[in-house]
Amino acid sequence: MSSELIEARLPQKLRARVRGRALDWIGVLFAAAAILLVPWVVLLVRDLPSDHRSAHWDVAWGGFDLALALLLVGVAVAAWRRSPWLEGAATAAATLLFVDAWFDILTSSSRSELIMAIVEAALVELPIAVLCVFLARSVERRFAAAASLAARRSEGIHEFDPVCLAQDERAA
């Protein structure tokens, strides 16, 4: 390997190591947050009343559904534009759809509301949420494949090099 190539890769390796350490600390932080939430959840389940009246129930749900609608528009626009924002928008939309189904079912106050919430969750919210998860995963894989192809081209390796293709398949 030439010294020029080693020098060109050194900053990249150093950046990767710094990024790796930052990710380790982020992992510790989020793990600690998750652990600290466990006693908080126990406290909430034990101490909160099962019934609660809210003065702004309509605004809360209306605002939530408006945010969900705007997010779904964001997914549509990102898909049409082939935007790198598609992965994040689809992931966020899936999350809000799962949350919407959860709270629709758990906050139903009558049998007919419960049946309607379950039907809506089963036929609309959850299927779209699963589609969003698959969409986000598909976009992630396509970006990874494009990055791998760009890296091979920058190194002067032909994209149909069987050695490189075999290495990519093993890495995936």
Q: Token pair for residue 15?
A: 């950046």
Indicate whether 128 and 153 sit together in one domain: yes
- Amino acid letter, residue 107: T
pLDDT given for residue 168 in this prediction: 53
- pLDDT reading at 164 higher than 90: no
| pLDDT (tens digit per residue) in 15-35 | 677 677 777 888 889 889 999
For the chain, the distance separating the N- and C-terminal CA atoms, rounded to the nearest angstrom, is 26
Residue of 164, 51, 170 lying closest to 109 (CA atoms): 51
Given a cut of 60, whether residue 62 has pLDDT beyond it is: yes
What single string gives the DSSP state of each residue in 57-100?
HHHHHHHHHHHHHHHHHHHHHHHHHT-TTHHHHHHHHHHHHHHH
Q: Which of 87, 96, 102, 65 is nearest to 134 (CA)?
A: 87
pLDDT in the model for residue 135: 93
CB atoms within 10 A of CB 129: 21
Are residues 27 and 89 part of one domain?
no
Q: 163 and 93, same structural domain?
A: yes
Do 23 and 107 fall within a single domain? Answer: no
pLDDT number for residue 128: 97
- How many structural domains does the chain have? 2
The boundaries of the domain holding residue 29 are: 1-48
